[in-house]
């Protein structure tokens, strides 16, 4: 009996339980729906990368005698039409736990059911699906550390092999070309696809033992850069965890913790879907904030006069990615030095990040803004100058992304003369003064 495999955030053939289930029923139609509700807001980085990832998946299918059928429009209508076109009685997906994904899938499931077609959910984008790790009383965890312990104790299934000898189906009409949008001028994106993910992971595994020591240094290539591959499901976290389980280094343990953070934020958003846009701690919505203006634009374009902040914001616009330590620094600067609400920064990141993942982005921002899951939040205000000096001591990161500072004596705290000579702006705020102001505003909601 024919089946339909609806690819979403699982653009791979290996370790794809939903695809294995689909192939067990008979011939398979591989389908991707270009959903206007997701395509429009995606931003230039993710649109360009998604097109490349779809082309890679299509190439893998063609090597096996198939091809990826791509359609554009409302998923409820397009998935139903595709299933009917090939006579499929089951549509297979990996479960989506995001706010939009859940609503979309419920609508698609209803439309399919009316036509006698079943929507089958198998697996998810996570080693442990959101909602599976709970306290003894069944309530969700609010704090990362106990969640991560319960998550590790829960465990996860081992990776599964790609299904062999699949009979692939394709749509004869109603399809569209795989999009190939031009990235914004100067934007350089990583190589997309399942094979690229495997190569990147293999390269990182050769250096994972140093991860604990190097991950906070943005001037080094000390991180895995796997976030984009996880975002599009070109690799499953189960695969990474299986490889990490064979290593006993502190670096491997630290990296596993980073995967747990990704799953924690997905769990938090799964239980509190409104926090994609609203405060996890609602009292912070009452705190005084400034209206976004010219300073927000300075922040977006990397011209704040604080080198590590400007380096991070320029890196974002250049490669669609920012080092995690720098993400925290620039987020703290926007919320606590410029007093702009976190949603403005999160929205800008989601526009430009190639690895823009809603749970990780929104709750990473809320963590740094002090209104999220951190147990001791708001009084942590990153000093951008000392953070730069501590984590980029040689100044390599700043010199790369703020090239006008390449030959100054101190790229993290250039003198007024150096700034004037190379055309780099003075700081747009006094950090010490704005830190005091941020804490004073926090006091207004503690009373």
Where in the chain are the domains? 3-124, 195-271, 282-443
Mean pLDDT of the 227-252 span = 96
For residue 374, what pLDDT band results from cuts at 50, 70 and 90? confident
N-terminal to C-terminal alpha carbon distance within the chain: 65
The percent of residues in the chain predicted with pLDDT above 90, rounded, is 93
**What's the pTM value of the predicted model, to 2 decimals?**
0.95
For residue 187, what pLDDT band results from cuts at 50, 70 and 90? confident
Q: Which CATH number fits domain 195-271: 1.25.40.80, 1.20.1740.10, 1.10.1060.10, 2.60.40.4070?
A: 1.25.40.80
Among positive and negative, which fits the CA dihedral 300, 231, 105, 129? negative
Closest CA to 257 of 385, 392, 152, 379: 152
Task: With a cut of 70, say whether residue 377 has pLDDT above it.
Answer: no
H-type alpha helices, 162-278:
194-205, 211-214, 227-231, 237-244, 250-271
Mean pLDDT of the 422-430 span = 98
For 385, how many CA atoms within 13 A lie in the half-sphere containing its CB?
Answer: 11
Hey, is 87 helix, strand or coil? Answer: coil
For residue 181, what pLDDT band results from cuts at 50, 70 and 90? confident
CATH topology of domain 3-124: Rossmann fold (3.40.50)
Q: Which residues contact residue 153 at a Cβ distance below 8 angstroms, ignoring those fewer than 6 apart?
A: none
Task: With a cut of 80, say whether residue 107 has pLDDT above it.
Answer: yes
Mean pLDDT of the 120-139 span = 96
Task: With a cut of 80, say whether residue 375 has pLDDT above it.
Answer: no
Task: With a cut of 80, say whether residue 378 has pLDDT above it.
Answer: no
Distance CA 58, CA 365 (A): 35
- What does the pLDDT look like over 328-356, one tens digit per residue? 999 999 999 999 999 999 999 999 999 99
The percent of residues in the chain predicted with pLDDT above 70, rounded, is 99
Among positive and negative, which fits the CA dihedral 75, 130, 262, 312? positive
Q: Which CATH number fits domain 282-443: 1.10.579.10, 3.30.870.10, 3.30.565.10, 3.30.2310.20?
A: 1.10.579.10
Mean pLDDT of the 56-65 span = 97
């Amino acid at each position: 009996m024919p089946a339909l495999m609806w690819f979403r955030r699982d653009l791979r053939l290996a370790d794809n339980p939903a695809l294995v289930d689909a192939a067990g029923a008979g011939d398979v139609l591989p389908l991707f729906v270009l959903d206007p509700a997701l395509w429009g807001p995606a931003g230039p980085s993710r649109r360009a990368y998604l097109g490349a990832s779809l082309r890679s998946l299509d190439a893998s299918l063609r090597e096996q005698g198939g091809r990826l059928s791509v359609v554009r429009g409302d998923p409820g209508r397009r998935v139903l039409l595709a299933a009917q076109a090939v006579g499929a009685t089951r549509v297979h997906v990996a479960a989506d736990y995001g706010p939009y994904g859940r609503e979309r899938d419920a609508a698609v499931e209803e439309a399919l059911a009316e036509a006698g077609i079943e929507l089958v959910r198998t697996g998810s984008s996570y080693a442990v699906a959101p909602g599976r790790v709970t306290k003894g009383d069944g309530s969700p965890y609010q704090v990362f550390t106990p969640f991560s312990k319960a998550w590790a104790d829960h465990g996860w299934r081992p990776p599964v092999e790609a299904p062999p000898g699949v009979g692939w189906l394709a749509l004869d009409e109603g399809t569209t070309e795989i999009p190939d949008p031009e990235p914004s001028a100067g934007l350089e994106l990583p190589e997309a696809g399942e094979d690229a993910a495997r190569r990147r992971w293999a390269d990182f595994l050769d250096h994972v033992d140093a991860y604990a020591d190097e991950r906070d240094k943005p001037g080094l290539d000390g991180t895995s850069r796997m976030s984009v591959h996880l975002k599009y499901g070109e690799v499953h976290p189960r695969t990474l965890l299986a490889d990490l389980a064979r290593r006993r280094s502190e670096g491997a343990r630290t990296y596993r913790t980073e995967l747990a953070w990704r799953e924690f934020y997905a769990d938090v958003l799964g239980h509190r879907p409104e926090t994609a846009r609203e405060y996890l701690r609602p009292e912070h919505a009452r705190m005084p904030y400034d209206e976004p203006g010219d300073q927000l634009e300075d922040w977006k374009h990397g011209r704040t006069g604080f080198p590590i902040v400007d380096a991070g914001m320029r890196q974002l616009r250049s490669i669609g990615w920012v080092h995690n330590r720098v993400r925290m620094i620039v987020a703290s600067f926007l919320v606590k030095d410029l007093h702009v609400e976190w949603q403005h920064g999160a929205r800008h990141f989601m526009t430009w990040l190639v690895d823009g993942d809603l749970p990780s982005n929104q709750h990473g921002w809320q963590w740094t803004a002090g209104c999220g899951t951190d147990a001791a939040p708001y009084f942590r205000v990153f000093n951008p100058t000392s953070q730069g000096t501590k984590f980029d001591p040689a100044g390599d990161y700043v010199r790369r992304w703020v090239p006008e500072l390449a030959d100054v004596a101190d790229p993290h705290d250039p003198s007024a003369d150096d700034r004037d000579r190379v055309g780099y702006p003075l700081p747009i705020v006094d950090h010490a003064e704005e830190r005091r102001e941020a804490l004073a505003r926090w006091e207004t909601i503690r009373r």
